[in-house]
């Protein structure tokens, strides 16, 4: 096991084959309730050591889709509370270039928790920190955001794109 401090608290990941791996690390507060369709807020700080050994939840998305075409991965629940990072690094001291990668999926499928997207080899071979993020932006979340935006005066916009028309414009 390997531990590091973040701005929100201490996390514990895994050291495997020379790579420190931290999975499911919250990067923002849960986008639910009053925070739904609003700009992200900082992650809620925690005390003690939070486990960072498993991927976080995946974003809400179309059931069935083409997820199998994206490579294997764990069977994870789809939830709105999904704003997490996965980090692979050859070391926890010093500085390294950081590569940030966001999964695709055409607003209908996708997750950073796929075997295909494991950042360990890239981190090892290039001496970089690899960060992947699960983002809230599936077709279901954008459809919900667009409906909410049209019915709510003085509303913030989600910035979701729904086909050829942006819901923010």
pLDDT of residue 60: 72
Domain region containing 143: 2-28+49-151
Instruction: Please report which confidence band the pLDDT of residue 161 belongs to, taking 50, 70 and 90 as the band edges.
Output: very low
Q: Is there a domain that residue 162 lies in?
A: no
Say how many Å lie between the first and final Cα of the chain, rounded: 47
Domain membership flag for residue 104:
yes
- Band of pLDDT at residue 125, cut at 50, 70 and 90: very high
Confidence of residue 38 (pLDDT cuts 50, 70, 90): confident
Residue 114 lies in a domain: yes
Residue 136, pLDDT > 60, answer: yes
The answer to whether position 165 is within a domain reads: no
What is the model's pTM? Answer: 0.74
For the ranges 17-26, 39-48, 149-158, the one whose mean pLDDT is highest: 17-26
Q: With respect to residue 133, please indicate whether it lies within any of the assigned structural domains.
A: yes
Residue 167 resides in a domain: no
* pLDDT average, residue stretch 27-35: 88
Residue 15 has a pLDDT of 97
Per-residue pLDDT of 75-90, as tens digits, reads 667 777 888 999 999 9
Q: What is the pLDDT of residue 63?
A: 56
Total tally of structural domains belonging to the chain: 1
Task: Tell me the percentage of the chain whose pLDDT exceeds 70.
Answer: 67
pLDDT confidence tier of residue 23, bands split at 50, 70 and 90? very high
In a domain, 122, yes or no: yes
Give the dihedral of Cα atoms 58, 63, 66, 68; nearest 10 deg. Answer: 60
163 domain residue, yes or no: no
- Say yes or no to pLDDT of 120 above 90: yes
28 against 104, higher pLDDT = 28
Q: What is the pLDDT of residue 58?
A: 77
Please give the angle made by the CA atoms of 61, 53 and 96, to the nearest 5 degrees: 95
pLDDT of res. 155: 45
């Amino acid at each position: 096991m390997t531990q590091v401090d973040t701005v929100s608290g201490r996390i514990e990941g895994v050291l495997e084959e020379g790579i420190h791996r931290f999975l499911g690390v919250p990067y923002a507060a849960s986008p639910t309730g009053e925070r739904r369709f609003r700009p992200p807020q900082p992650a809620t700080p925690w005390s003690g050591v939070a486990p960072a050994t498993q991927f976080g939840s995946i974003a809400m998305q179309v059931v069935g889709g083409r997820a199998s075409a994206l490579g294997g991965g764990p069977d994870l629940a789809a939830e709105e509370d999904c704003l997490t990072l996965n980090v692979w690094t050859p070391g926890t001291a010093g500085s390294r270039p950081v590569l940030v990668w966001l999964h695709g999926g055409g607003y209908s499928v996708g997750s950073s928790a796929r075997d295909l997207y494991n950042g360990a080899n890239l981190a090892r071979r290039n001496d970089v920190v690899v960060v992947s993020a699960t983002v809230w932006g599936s077709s279901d979340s954008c459809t919900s955001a667009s409906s909410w935006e049209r019915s709510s005066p003085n509303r913030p916009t989600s910035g979701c794109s729904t086909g050829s028309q942006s819901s923010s414009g």
